[in-house]
């Protein structure tokens, strides 16, 4: 374990590396400018502004979307959508090099954190030691499409993780209508990391006037899912994620607990960095437990879509 002062120094340097990516590089990949104070939700007691006015942004994890885009870019047109129609925000935590390790996420995160703890560590030095992680992060990009659409025309719906879903996807009647409409059109739903919290919204439908109707015995209830566990989230907030100096950052709730409370069959790995992907065919629901599972989940989603279309996987 790192001494607390060394750990704080390492986290500060890790944050510096992410910020050092700069607006220009992000925009080259089609992303909006990185907003450090965008979509932040802290416990009220921890929401005190710092003297610099900085806060940490949350949003979607780059690697969790990019892996699916890469898998389907030659066979599908991708339509990006957000709950409010606004351009989504990248999450700073998801830009850390270790998050791009795929199945070796645990080892890569530990390795890069130790590298940041070394005296004189710089963004350039850490990148030079991790060329494969840098190459994967630099290659990831998002696409856009602006066409009229019908849900029946879609082959699947996928939502990446990051902490923004804990705000936008949780207990959201509009999202509940979307999830149920997808199911009625027999369209597979794929959710990773924190995104499975969307299933807490499945209890809602909207009537013809857009008024929410609650159905606690909805069609998805009891579905098998996986997600990031609380015992994986807690240490990341403590020692893994960059922090506002002198402040504590913690979520309002934990996704695995919210899903259990909502009546889902939640399966977790003992090792939070181990890969788990669950396909519940009855509910046409595919879930993965974090960035370490992005490649395995993208592969499984591709197989599911290919099998349903009759194309070779």
Q: 147 in a domain, yes or no?
A: yes
pLDDT tens digits, residue range 220-267?
999 999 999 999 998 888 877 766 667 776 788 999 999 999 999 999
List strand residue ranges (DSSP E) for 55-209, in order. Answer: 157-159, 189-192, 204-206
Q: Tell me what pLDDT residue 114 has.
A: 75
Contact predicate 164/91, CB 8 Å: yes
Q: Point out the least confidently predicted range of 46-50, 57-61, 70-74, 248-252.
A: 46-50
pLDDT for residue 150 is more than 90: no
CA of residue 223 relative to chain centroid, distance: 20
Average pLDDT, the chain: 74
> Which residue pairs from 128-134 have beta carbons closer than 8 angstroms and sit at least 24 positions apart in sequence?
130/97, 133/97, 133/98, 133/100, 133/101, 133/108, 134/97
> Structural domain tally of the chain?
1
Task: Look at residue 234 and tell me if it is in a domain.
Answer: yes
Query: Bigger pLDDT: 120 or 143?
Result: 120
Range of the domain at 270: 4-41+52-309
* pLDDT single digits (tens) 171-194: 988 889 989 999 999 999 999 999
Reading phi first (left if > 0) and then psi (alpha if -120 to 50, else beta), residue 160 is in beta
46 falls within a domain: no
Least confident span in 64-68, 85-89, 164-168? 85-89
Measured from the Cβ of residue 207, the count of other Cβ atoms closer than 10 Å reads 9
User: Is residue 84 situated within a structural domain?
Assistant: yes
Q: Where in the chain does DSSP place strands (E)? A: 157-159, 189-192, 204-206, 212-214, 224-225, 265-266, 277-280, 285-288
Asked if the structure places residue 207 within a domain, the reply is yes
Contact 38, 89 (CB under 8 A): yes
Segment 300-312 mean pLDDT = 86
At 205 the three-state DSSP class reads strand
pLDDT above 70: residue 207: yes
Q: How far apart, in whole angstroms, are the C-alpha atoms of residue 264 and residue 306?
A: 27
290 within a domain of the structure (yes/no): yes
Confidence of residue 148 (pLDDT cuts 50, 70, 90): low
pLDDT at 136: 65
Residue 257: what pLDDT? Answer: 97
Higher-confidence residue of 107 and 49: namely 107
CATH number for position 253: 3.40.50.880
Q: What is the pTM of this model?
A: 0.67
| 181 belongs to a structural domain | yes
Pairing between strand 265-266 and 224-225?
parallel
The two structure tokens encoding residue 7: 């750990």
Mean pLDDT of 106-124: 72
């Amino acid at each position: 374990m790192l001494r607390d002062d060394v750990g704080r120094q390492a986290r500060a340097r890790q944050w510096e590396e992410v910020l050092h990516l700069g607006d220009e590089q992000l925009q080259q990949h089609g992303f909006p400018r990185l907003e450090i104070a965008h979509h932040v939700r802290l416990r009220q007691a921890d929401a005190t502004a710092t003297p610099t006015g900085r806060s940490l942004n949350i949003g979607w994890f780059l690697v969790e979307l990019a892996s699916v885009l890469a898998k389907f870019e030659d066979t599908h047109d991708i339509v990006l959508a957000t709950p409010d129609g606004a351009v989504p925000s990248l999450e700073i935590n998801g830009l850390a090099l270790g998050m791009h390790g795929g199945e070796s996420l645990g080892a890569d995160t530990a390795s890069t954190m130790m590298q940041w703890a070394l005296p004189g560590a710089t963004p350039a030095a850490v990148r030079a030691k991790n060329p494969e992680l840098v190459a994967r992060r630099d290659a990831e990009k998002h696409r856009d499409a602006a066409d009229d659409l019908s849900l029946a025309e879609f082959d699947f719906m996928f939502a990446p993780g990051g902490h923004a879903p804990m705000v936008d996807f949780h207990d959201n009647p509009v999202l509940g209508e979307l999830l149920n409409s997808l199911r009625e059109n027999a369209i597979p739903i794929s959710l990773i990391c924190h995104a499975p919290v969307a299933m807490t919204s499945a209890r809602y439908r909207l009537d013809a006037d857009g008024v929410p109707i609650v159905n606690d015995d909805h069609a998805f209830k009891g579905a098998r899912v996986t997600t990031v566990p609380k015992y994986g989230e807690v240490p990341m907030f403590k020692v893994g994620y960059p922090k506002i100096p002198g402040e504590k950052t913690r979520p309002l709730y934990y996704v695995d607990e919210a899903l259990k409370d909502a009546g889902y069959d939640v399966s977790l790995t003992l090792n939070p960095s181990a890969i788990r992907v669950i396909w519940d065919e009855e509910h046409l629901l595919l879930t993965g437990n974090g960035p370490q599972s992005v490649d395995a989940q993208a592969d499984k989603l591709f197989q599911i879509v290919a099998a349903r279309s009759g194309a070779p996987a």
